[in-house]
Structure 1
């Protein structure tokens, strides 16, 4: 199902992979790939956008690709979704040696690659990009058995995007953090799977605080540790007077 919001078309493919297209055809991908989330889409099924022939686009249409941290870094998926002249924006802490997956290092990708810190800004024709810290609190609920956070501070980022006259907030793999409540957000993409990120109750509280125009939850049900009740989340958010939608295929 394709979500339409104030001129944007939005598709969630699973895990943290989101495609956003503006009315003028500028396409952004957030954290593409991992766990085969793109494998069910081919040239016949396509996605919500259009290629040069007017047909459905089987990817290869991304103008901007944003990657939050090494867990979501999938160089093959980037090559699948990006245009030849795409810009890849990635957290500067991503190192190919930090994963046992076979990935191409960022500096060897055949695109313009821009690496950002935890609180940076970057502009490209069609979008403004801000990074925000993304991590699990050391004394919070989203830690390993030994107390170490799954995502320690400095491990990754979230993104606030200004595209198509709207602002889109993807917190990344993160707890709810100080400063989130100050953002002005049109489309909120919270992770709700818990375990490694904020859970559905925490995300609903943040949604109420942000009061965005629309909430579209992501980062859940891709594998067992991320299983949650998305319909309970949607009902919770809606009961607080915040518009919410599920993109479940």
Structure 2
């Protein structure tokens, strides 16, 4: 379903994919694809959880597509959402060679038929009227997502994005624990991961939501497959109990 937030229409399409549409028709996508979320096979592979499930998605209406890191890079997903004249903003460390060596064959971003821009922590740019700020994202070396002290998402491996769409600052955390870089962000729409593994969990995301005090919280990146299971109803109750508006976008 679609969520209305001010002049924005926002949908969670599954995994880390969110679609944000402005009142002027500008469309932004975060981290499109993977795990059957856009090719219509998610339900057959993982169905049963509270998570979007739909027929194959092939809108090709995105003016801006952002990609946070290797785990969320999917050239097929990008081609399902990007318009012919789309701009693809990709974190600098995303490596098709490394992804392919890991067993998932992908086309390098620069080989796709779009305007591709590589970005690093702290970069700011404007694309299709959307202000893009690149926010650090990583797991703490001494935290639960660093088995043996080796972070699953080390600093420098990926990022998050603050996207100001139609004047509304929207923050997608990427695959990250809660980190100091989050503390001073001005956020109206907060889209955190609430998965039980690999990223901040629902408890840490609720704490961060309370500190950021956004106008609305819409969690994404959970329940896609068993390792990402989360009690979204408990998260929503926790956040609402702190006086922060929250909504779930689930089938």
- TM-score by length of structure 2 reads 0.91
Structure 1 residues 165-180: aligned runs within 5 Å: 165-180=167-182
Of residues 244, 247, 250 in structure 2, which corresponds to 1:248? Answer: 250
**Separation of aligned partners in 1, 2:62 and 2:166:** 15
The residue aligned with 1:123 is: 126
Gap change, CA 1:93 and 1:196, over 3 Å in 2: same
**Separation of aligned partners in 2, 1:241 and 1:140:** 28
User: How far apart are residue 117 of structure 1 and its match?
Assistant: 0.7
CA RMSD of superposed structures (Å)? 1.5
- Tell me if the contact between 1:31 and 1:68 (Cα under 8 Å) persists in the aligned partners: yes
Structure having the larger proportion of residues in helix: 2
User: How far apart are residue 178 of structure 1 and its match?
Assistant: 0.3
SS of residue matched to 2:149:
coil
The answer on 1:23 being equivalent to 2:19 is no
User: How far apart are residue 125 of structure 1 and its match?
Assistant: 2.7
SS of residue matched to 1:29:
strand
Structure 1 residues 94-133: aligned runs within 5 Å: 94-99=94-99, 100-133=103-136
Structure 2: gaps of 5 or more residues = 42-53
The residue aligned with 2:183 is: 181
Moved over 6 A (4+): none
User: How far apart are residue 118 of structure 1 and its match?
Assistant: 1.5
User: How far apart are residue 46 of structure 1 and its match?
Assistant: 8.4
- Tell me if the contact between 1:195 and 1:226 (Cα under 8 Å) persists in the aligned partners: yes
Of residues 207, 232, 235 in structure 2, which corresponds to 1:233? Answer: 235
**Separation of aligned partners in 1, 2:58 and 2:96:** 27
**Separation of aligned partners in 2, 1:107 and 1:64:** 15
**Separation of aligned partners in 2, 1:40 and 1:8:** 25
Paired positions, count: 236
- TM-score by length of structure 1 reads 0.92
The residue aligned with 1:8 is: 8
